[in-house]
Structure 1
Amino acid sequence: MRKAVIFDLDGTLANTDEVHKLAWEIALRKMGYEVKVDIRHLLGRKTIDIAKILIGESNAEKLASVKTEIYNELVKTLAKPKPCVIDLINRLRDVKIPIAVVTSSMRNSAVQVLKVIKVEPDVLVAGDDVKLGKPNPMPVIEAIKRLNVDPNESVGIGDTIYDVMAYYSAGIREILVVRSSVPLNEEEVRKYDAKILDSLCEISDWFEFF
């Protein structure tokens, strides 16, 4: 029996995957670095972890801080809910299914985005709430604990392989992956028996799933 749903935020509930990419690019250039990689492949990890991958340890904290400041300004005007998000959340509320949001974003950024898209989860676990972020299962395990449910009673929904890995390692076996701007290796995703959706509208269309 499904007793809870755990959502990723950026690229899943909100269109902010693209906003994160833009903020990283602006922050890198502001600090004098060239953008040499496709940042979309890193989205889903904690901010500080991405910063370390991009420029190494020495200036990572500064880059993470600059990026977060830029991002928090951008989301005020650019953040929007993904298609069918509000309808799906309302339906879950109607059937008394608790909702958690597990995000690699900093808490202040996540709270701001959730306010903009008008989603109020029962539980929010952000990147600065736990020591290790996705793909490590620690944030998902924390959400399950706060929801007071078992992993096999939970559904995990995200848009990246890091979401899938975190859900699976936490014991969740019902995993849905929603396409976003983040490149998706479908073969890798299906190794975890995850179902790939074009949008959350597909869940609304067959809501008997819950």
Structure 2
Amino acid sequence: MRKAVIFDLDGTLANTDEVHKLAWEIALRKLGYDVKVDIRYLLGRKTIDIAKILIGESHAEKLASVKTEIYNELVKTLAKPKPCVMELINRLRDVEIPIAVVTSSMRNSAVQVLKVINVEPDVLITGDDVKLGKPNPMPVIEAIKRLNVDPNESVGVGDTIYDVMAYYSAGIREIIVVRSSVPLNVEEARKYDAKILDSLCEISDWFELF
């Protein structure tokens, strides 16, 4: 029996995957870096981890700080809920299914986005709540613990392979991937028996099973 749903935030509940990409591009230009990397493939990881991948460890904290400042300004005007978010959340509330949001974003950024899209999760785990971020299962395990449910009673919903890996490693076996601007290796996702959808709107009928 399903007793909880765990959502990713950026690219899953909100369009902020695109905002993160823009913030990274602006921050890199501002600090004078010309990085030939498709940032979309890194989205879903913690900010500091992405910064280290992009420019190495020595100046990663500075880049991460500048990117976060830029992002926090951009989301004020650019953040929007993905289609069918409120319908899905309301349906889960109607059947008293608790929800958690597990995100690699920092707490202040995540709270800001959640306010914009009008979602209040029962549990919120952010990048500064745990030492290791996705694809490590630590943040998902913490969410499951706070929800007081078993992994096999939970559903994980995300948009990146890092979400899928974190859910699976935490013991969740019902995993839904909703396509976003982040490129998805479909074959790799299906190795984890993930169900791949084009939109949250497609989940409606599926959640009739609750």
TM class by shorter-chain length? over 0.9
Alpha-carbon deviation of 1:206?
Answer: 3.6
Q: Give the equivalent residue in structure 2 for 1:31.
A: 31
Alpha-carbon deviation of 1:205?
Answer: 3.4
8 Å contact from structure 1 (residues 79, 116) kept in 2: yes
Q: Give the equivalent residue in structure 1 for 2:155.
A: 155
User: Distance in 2 between the 1:12 and 1:6 partners?
Assistant: 11
Which SS does the other structure have where 1:129 is aligned? coil
User: Distance in 2 between the 1:96 and 1:148 partners?
Assistant: 14
8 Å contact from structure 1 (residues 25, 35) kept in 2: no
Give the 5 Å matches for 1:108-119.
108-119=108-119
Q: Give the equivalent residue in structure 2 for 1:84.
A: 84
8 Å contact from structure 1 (residues 177, 195) kept in 2: yes
8 Å contact from structure 1 (residues 83, 199) kept in 2: yes
Which SS does the other structure have where 1:157 is aligned? strand
* 1:10-29 deviation per Cα after TM superposition (whole angstroms, max 9, x unaligned): 00000000000000000000
Alpha-carbon deviation of 1:208?
Answer: 1.1
Aligned length: 210
8 Å contact from structure 1 (residues 29, 35) kept in 2: no
User: Distance in 1 between the 2:201 and 2:207 partners?
Assistant: 10
User: Distance in 2 between the 1:191 and 1:73 partners?
Assistant: 38
Alpha-carbon deviation of 1:156?
Answer: 0.2
Identity among equivalent positions (%) equals 93
User: Distance in 1 between the 2:137 and 2:89 partners?
Assistant: 24
* 1:43-67 deviation per Cα after TM superposition (whole angstroms, max 9, x unaligned): 0000000000000001100100000
Which SS does the other structure have where 1:145 is aligned? helix
Alpha-carbon deviation of 1:138?
Answer: 0.1
Which SS does the other structure have where 2:128 is aligned? helix
Alpha-carbon deviation of 1:161?
Answer: 0.3
TM-score scaled by length of structure 2: 0.99
Structure 2: runs of 5 or more not aligned = none
Which SS does the other structure have where 2:177 is aligned? strand
User: Distance in 2 between the 1:148 and 1:159 partners?
Assistant: 24
Runs ≥4 residues deviating over 2 A: none
User: Distance in 2 between the 1:58 and 1:194 partners?
Assistant: 37
Alpha-carbon deviation of 1:80?
Answer: 0.3
* 1:114-149 deviation per Cα after TM superposition (whole angstroms, max 9, x unaligned): 000000000000001000000000000000000000
TM-score scaled by length of structure 1: 0.99
Alpha-carbon deviation of 1:207?
Answer: 3.0
User: Distance in 1 between the 2:47 and 2:8 partners?
Assistant: 15
Alpha-carbon deviation of 1:72?
Answer: 0.3
Q: Give the equivalent residue in structure 1 for 2:191.
A: 191
Structure 1: runs of 5 or more not aligned = none
User: Distance in 2 between the 1:30 and 1:43 partners?
Assistant: 20
User: Distance in 2 between the 1:60 and 1:26 partners?
Assistant: 15
